[in-house]
Each structure stands twice: as C-alpha cells, then as structure tokens.
Amino acid sequence: MFETLSLLTLQHYWWIIISLLASFLVFLMFVQGGQTLIYTLGKTEPERTIIVNTLGRKWEFTFTTLVTFGGAFFASFPLFYSTSFGGAYWVWMVILFSFVIQAVAYEFRTKPNNFLGQRTFEIFLFINGALGTILIGAVVSTFFTGSEFSVNKLNLTDIVSPVISRWEGPAHGMEVVLNWRNVDLGLAIFFLARVLGILYILNSVDHEAIARRSHKQLWVNAIPFLVFFLAYVIALMLSKGFAVAPAAGKIFMEPFKYWHNLMEMPVVAILFVMGVLLVLFGIFQPLLNFKACCSKGIWYAGPGTVLTVFSLFLLAGFNHTAYYPSTYDLQSSLTIMNSSSSHYTLTAMSYVSLLVPFVLAYIVYAWRSINRKKITEEEMEEGGGHTY
C-alpha cells in the first residue's frame, strides 16, 4: 500500500503525523498549565490534593506523547534530530530536566518518608509547568524564526572533525530567549496551557471553591494568552519566510511567506480559523455562562488547540517551506525533503502508523472509564485507592 507512494508523498504524510503529535502534545500540556496553578486554585491541603490528583491521572499521556513525538521525529526526519538536539543542546536539556523532575513528582509527593518533602515535589511540578511550556513554545517558534547552524555531510570524511551538524552560536540553544517572537510564542503556550488546565479542572472536579477560583483565573490567563497569541500570529503573517525553490531546492527569503502559505493552502487556512474559533469558544463559553458544576469548555478549546497547532506546523513545513531554517547558512536549512528518512524506512513506519487510530481508540475508552465520575473530596479521602 505505502510502497507505491512517492518519497515526496511519504515525507508529507510523515510531516502530518509529526504535526498531529505536536498538536496533541500542546493540548495535553493542560497538565503542565494546571501544575502552575496548584497553589492559586487550591488554598487548603485537601483542595490541592484534588487538583494534583486530577492532573496526575493524565500526566503520563503528555509525557508519552512527548517521548513518542521525539521518537517519531527521529525516525522520520533524523537530520532534525541530530541538528536540533545536538546543537540547541542547552534549551533541550533544560526542557528534559523539567520533565525528569515531573515524572517522579506525582508518585512521590505525598508518600511518607519521601526525602525531599511534599513542597519540593510541588515546586518540581511548577518548574515543569512553567519551563516546559515556555521553552517548548520558544523552540517551536524557531521553526519560523530560524537558528544559527550549518549542515555539511562532507564533514563525515574529515577524520579529525567528522560532525555533520554544527551549531554556530555560542549559547547552544539558549539564544532562543533573545528573540522576542520566540519568547512571545513561549508565553502564549504557557498561558494557553494554564487556560486549558483551568478548563480541564472545571470539567473534571466537583468542588465549589475550586470552580469559583478557576473561573476567576480563566480571565486572568485568557487575556495574556490572547494578546501573546495574536501578536505572534500577526508578526508571523507579516514576516519574511524561508521558502524553497521547487526546482533547484535552493532556499531563499520570501516576504509574507507564511501569509502566502495560508492563502495557497485553503484547507490549512480553514483548519486554522476553525481551531482559533474553537479555542475562543471554549474559553468564553464558561466565562459567559458560569455554572460551577458543568463546564465543557475543554472539549472545544482542546480540539481547537489541536487544529491550530496542527495548521501552524503545516504552515512551517508544507508548500515549499524550510521547517527548520538556518539564519547562519540559508542552504543548511532543513526541509521535509532534505532531512527525511529513506523511502523504505518511511514506508515501514507508515505501516506502524496504522496502529495510531487503534491506540487513540483505547486511550479514549480508558480515559472515559476513569473520567466518568467527577473527582470529589470524598474520593480523595477514601482508603484503598491510589492517591497522589
């Protein structure tokens, strides 16, 4: 089935899968957003326990999506893996550290004799929630703003110095925070994650005080999210982009490239607009019709986030665009054509990708089984259950 597809088609197919994984990852970062609100929404110990347990039942999905995103990117576009991870070393390391400390925080938080103390594990959750979202957002922004690196495969024949991908800036990734647009997207993702976290908590917790505070915090976080997001989108549409000349494969700067992409790919434009509208509806529906018990905002804002991020990734990689551009050497920029795996590997992996709907189906089934009933203070106090 996949064998007959051209390499170019498979490269597009895999960019779609990468984009989907990235968009689900951003949606699932509601866990991270919620982690930064534990003390804002929970004023008493039992309230904080409810919030931590609500998020804690989903943290592994976010984590697994991140790991799968990394693995899938490696398998389908290995040159990105070697160039970005080996070059932007520090920004990735900081992101990874934040996830390392998250992975134990839920399980260890309230266990007796946990060495570092409950507060430390809660700080771990906060660090992960803040750094993880802001820095992932900033790194994704470099897909549009570029980084300083070079790629030369001939280096492999230099016995003294055979490394193909080289980072040409001294900060090895931390320079992402020096570009206002990167920081802007980082903050947009941070506030979006908090908004999604609040919406998820509103949807999953049956607790009056938490719901009241969540409602208030929705305003506080939705406004900066919208400001940062709109600023980013406007700057993106007005900026020059990294275009690929289809015949020669040469990369050049094209004014309004991402605006052109949006116009030349109407399906992407529709997805983008639908995504943004769904996010806005998801936010404003509970804001304008506050009912402490039953908010479904997450089920609009969540898919809205998926559609928006998905379409942004397609803007970065499709329509003859370099998705990981180099500002140091334009011709070193990575495109889905020059950085992908071979036809054989993409074909083999495409068969594996047929499992994805099956995986999604059992996740949805298991998710519904656990979320059928809202989390209450009584459930936390019940003996015999597994509480964080």
Partner 1 sequence: MIDQIDLSMVDWARAQFALTAIYHWLFVPLTLGLSFIVAIMETIYVRTGNPEWKKITKFWMILFGINFAIGIATGIILEFQFGTNWSNYSWFVGDIFGAPLAIEGIMAFFLESTFIAIMFFGWNKVSKGFHLTASWLTAIGANFSALWILVANAWMQHPIGMEFNPDTARNEMVNFWEIIFSPMAVNKFLHTISNGYVIASIFVIGISAWFLLHKRHVLTAKRSILIAAIFGIITSIFLAFTGDGSAYTIAQKQPMKLAAMEGLYEGESGAGLVAFGILNPSKKPGNDEDPFLMKIEVPQLLSILGYRDANAFVPGVDDIINGGYKPWFENIQEEEKEMTYSVAQKIERGKLAISALRDYKTASKAGDTIMAKISRDQLEVNFAYFGYGYLNKPESVVPNVQLTFYSFHLMVILGLYFILLFIVVLYFLSRGTLEKQRWLLWLSLWTIPLVYLASQAGWVVAEVGRQPWVIQDLLPTIAAVSMISSSSVKITFWIFAGIFTALLIAEVMIMVRQIKIGPKDGGQK
User: What b/e string do you get for 331-345 counting C-beta neighbours within 10 Å, with b at 16 or more?
Assistant: ebbbbbbbbbbebee
Q: Is 44 left (phi over 0), alpha (psi -120 to 50) or beta?
A: beta
Closest distance of CB 126 from partner 1, Å: 16
Closest distance of CB 302 from partner 1, Å: 18
Q: How far apart are CA 388 and CA 368, in angstroms?
A: 20
Q: What is the dihedral of CA 290, 294, 298, 300, to 10 degrees?
A: -80
Q: Side chain identity at 200, as an amino acid letter? A: Y
> Residue 91 or residue 236: which is nearer to partner 1 going by CB?
91
Closest distance of CB 179 from partner 1, Å: 19
> Residue 86 or residue 224: which is nearer to partner 1 going by CB?
86
Q: How far apart are CA 253 and CA 264, in angstroms?
A: 17
> Residue 172 or residue 215: which is nearer to partner 1 going by CB?
172
Residue with structure tokens 């983008």? 272
Closest distance of CB 155 from partner 1, Å: 9
Closest distance of CB 83 from partner 1, Å: 7
> Residue 61 or residue 299: which is nearer to partner 1 going by CB?
61
Give the pair of three-digit tokens for residue 362.
């059992």
Closest distance of CB 342 from partner 1, Å: 4
Q: How far apart are CA 163 and CA 156, in angstroms?
A: 6
Beta-strand runs (E) in the chain: 149-151, 165-167, 241-244, 251-254
Q: How far apart are CA 166 and CA 173, in angstroms?
A: 12
> Residue 67 or residue 293: which is nearer to partner 1 going by CB?
67
Closest distance of CB 258 from partner 1, Å: 27
Burial class of residue 378 in the structure, from the number of CB atoms within 10 Å of its CB (0-12 exposed, 13-18 middle, 19+ buried): exposed
> Residue 63 or residue 259: which is nearer to partner 1 going by CB?
63
> Residue 101 or residue 269: which is nearer to partner 1 going by CB?
101
Length of the chain: 388
Closest distance of CB 369 from partner 1, Å: 5
Contact 301, 221 (CB under 8 A): no
Q: How far apart are CA 41 and CA 133, in angstroms?
A: 19
Closest distance of CB 303 from partner 1, Å: 19
Q: Side chain identity at 234, as an amino acid letter? A: I
> Residue 289 or residue 376: which is nearer to partner 1 going by CB?
376
> Residue 48 or residue 260: which is nearer to partner 1 going by CB?
48
Widest Cα–Cα separation across the chain: 68
Strands 241-244 and 149-151 come out as: unpaired
